[in-house]
Structures are given as structure tokens and as C-alpha cells.
Structure 1
Amino acid sequence: MKNKGNKGFTLIELLIVVAIIGILAGIAIPSYQDYTQQAKASQGIVGLSSYKTAIAVCYQKNGSFIDCDAGKYGIPNDILNEGQINGIKNTTILDGGIAAELEAIIPNTGDNITIKFLPIINKNAAALNWQLICWSGSSDIDEIKTIIDSCESATN
């Protein structure tokens, strides 16, 4: 009789492969969650660019940010419902400031990220810059900066 060679993998080999896949999944899944939230936050921030442009035009025409509100001087209306602009749940535009609740969340807490763009006039350079302030429920700045690293400050 001929001795047939075993074909296939041993139990130990299969267990090692399963363990390696489990370790890789444990590393990849949290990173993937962060990347998807970064994409949502980026969409929201880019979606606010039309507001920033209209507010800059309002300032040029009026010489101040007073009454540069949503629905006035060509500034788009507030977003009241999620889904009107990708990445944004709602906005409030008042005197040139833009407050927006983003669809992006902090993965550890599930809190939505809220941002505020504040216009800053540099009189010497005749330029309009925007300060980005972020906060999110009980999350601290380090958790928020994993999603939006350009936040200059954050408070609860």
C-alpha cells in the first residue's frame, strides 16, 4: 500500500492564521472609523465655503459684519435639516460667524463635532482670515484633533 500524503493544513496552522487576521482587524477597524469621520468633517467644512465667501462679500459692501446673517446680503439660508449639504447637520449664521454641527462624530464618545468659524480682519494686509473653533460634548481637544487637526481651540 502506498502511503498517501496528507493534504491540507493542521489545526495549529489554521489557528495562527485566524490569530493574525484578528490582530490586523483590531488595528485596521479603529483607523478606518477615524478616516470615515475625517471625510465627513472635511465635507462639512468644504460645504461651508459658500457661506464664508458670501460673508466676505457682505463685509466688503457694509464695512462690518453686523447683519451679515443667513438669508441677508446674498448669504445662504441656515441649514436646518441633515442632508441638505453633505457633512453638515445644521448651521447658524449670525453677524458673520458661522456655527455648524457636523455629521462627523468622535468614535469613542459618539458626540457630534460642532465648529464655529469666526472672521478675523487683518487691517494691515486687508485680508479676511477665519479662526476655527471646535467642541464636542464631553470630548477633549485631543479627541477632536484626531478628526479635525486644524482646530485652533476647543471648549466644552
Structure 2
Amino acid sequence: MRRQKGFTLIELMVVVAILGILATTAVPFYQTWTQRAYGSQATMIMKSLVDGQIMYYLENNKFYPDEGKPPIFVPYKGEGTPWPSDALDGIEKNLKVKVSQSPQFNYMIVNYGGDDGVTIKIEAPFPLFKGQGSPGYLFATVNPRGEVIYAGP
């Protein structure tokens, strides 16, 4: 009798089951790590913008954008253009921070004037920024006294 080479159906089913178990555990870990990376990126942009606002205030005795001017809004990449149209150039020129549109979050800079200072808001739809609602926000406010107040999830 001649012995045939190959795998039995049972052996193939065991391999498929093992691959399925690996895939079901690997995908959530991957998603968690990508969310953490997005959160770290948003936090670094926030810190850079706050530092830029502090330096701008020390040099000019005012925050950027000027009081009374409309807020700067940078939407998600692919969902519109920054407003005003020269927002990214203005941030780079005045705050000395190079930022770009992100596919993961959008951000806004609002100068309320007076003792309220300037507020930077980053909005992100991923779970790391969410409480119970959707999407979540991360705020930082810098006032003329040099106080920085962070708020978020």
C-alpha cells in the first residue's frame, strides 16, 4: 500500500482555528496601539501650540490670532480646507510651530481676549478622547498671567 503525502482535514482545521484565535486577539491590540499613537500625536500638537502661544505672548504682549479676529480652524484632512485659508501659514509664521491637517483629528485656536486668553481645542472621534459621547475633545487655555489649563477626558 502506498502512503499519500499531504495534510488531513483535521490538521488543516486545527491550523485555521489557531490562526483565527491569533487574529481575534491581535486586531484589538493593534487598534489600541494606533489609538494611543493618535492620542500622543494630538497631545504633542497641543503642547507645541501652547508653547508657541506663550512665546508669541512674551514677544508681542498678545495672543495669536489677534483679539476680535475669527478663530482659526483646521479640519480633518480630506474634509475641507483650513479657515482662514492661510491658517497653517499663519500658525507657522506667528507661533513658530509647523502643523498640518491630520486625518485623525481637527483643531481650533480661539482668542477670547482679556483675562480669558486663548483656547486651543482638538477634536478627535477615536475612543481615547471620548467619554460617553462622540467625538471627544482636548482643551488647553493660556491666559495673560501665564497659567495653562488643560481639560479633556
Q: TM-score, with normalisation over the residues of structure 1? A: 0.59
Please name the residue that 1:24 is paired with. 22
Q: What are the equivalent positions in structure 2 for 1:1-156 lying under 5 Å apart?
A: 3-61=1-59, 68=63, 70-72=64-66, 78-83=72-77, 84-86=100-102, 87-94=104-111, 95-102=117-124, 104-106=125-127, 111-119=134-142, 130-134=148-152, 154=153
Deviation at 1:35, TM superposition (A): 1.6
Once the 2 structures are TM-superposed, how far is the Cα of residue 38 of structure 1 from its aligned partner?
1.9
**Paired residues of 1:115 and 1:133 also in contact (CA < 8 A):** yes
Structure with greater helix share of residues: 2
Higher strand share: 1
8 Å CA contact 1:92–1:98 kept in 2: the answer is: yes
For normalisation by structure 2, the TM-score amounts to: 0.60
Q: CA RMSD in A?
A: 3.4
Change (3 A) 1:91 1:12: same
Contact 2:109–2:121 under 8 Å retained in 1: yes
CA distance change for structure 1 residues 45 and 18 in 2, over 3 Å: closer, same or farther? same
| Residue identity in the other structure for 1:93 | V
Question: What displacement does 1:22 show?
Answer: 0.8
Number of equivalences = 120
If asked which structure has higher relative contact order (CA below 8 Å, sep 6+), I would say 2
Alpha-carbon distance between aligned partners in 2 of 1:41 and 1:21, rounded to the nearest angstrom: 30
For structure 2, the 5+ residue unaligned runs are 78-99, 112-116
